[in-house]
Structure 1
């Protein structure tokens, strides 16, 4: 009569190997079935401030390189602080003018600070501005509050 003493150890080892392979397969399916991450727009913007007169100043936001972006998706915030550098308030401001790169490069401070149509070199920031590329500028004109 033959004894099957070693058979249970072999069956246990086979079941354990099957569980490990199944686990690795499930993990592989989960990791490989997720979609790749969506690339985000990468753009370099710079901003500066220029005082036009005693009550108003402009904030110039310039596209310095990278992807072409839709300026309608951008939001502009202004943070103010007291003279001792403590925070005062933060609020959203609206863009006022859009300058294409070729027009902005030929402008001086007088033309940039003139919000009227005297120079007729700019157009009002509106829904027609769909792309902002390298060198283009958005100007936000702000009049300071009187305390």
Structure 2
């Protein structure tokens, strides 16, 4: 599994309740650009429209060596999920404060691009501060352990 990009900001801004894997429909130049690692998930989110799941605001830079006209880097991309999974998502997304956020994009062994989606609830400011304090405390403990060895 080759990871193309991670959405580190999502773990800072949201509590991730559940994750799932989805396929993504791309054109040829977008696949080559993803293999080069030129994608950004920072402002991306997924939504359901007409019973299908779409990915919005995910930026894939145009492939530099493409001979045809480049597609829009921010175009809406369709995600591939089973019908039962989409039904479950519709039920979850109807709750207040729940969003569907892309967490990472990666290639599986067969060469297909996949997106890991997370059902997320927004964090409050004090939750973000507590998470940063815990992260710093664990870092300091790891440093102390390394220096003692």
Shorter-chain TM-score range: under 0.3
- Higher-RCO chain (CA-CA 8 Å, sequence separation at least 6): 2
Larger Rg: 1
- Which structure features the higher share of strand residues? 2
Task: Tell me the TM-score normalized by structure 1.
Answer: 0.21
Task: Tell me the TM-score normalized by structure 2.
Answer: 0.21
- Which structure features the higher share of helix residues? 2
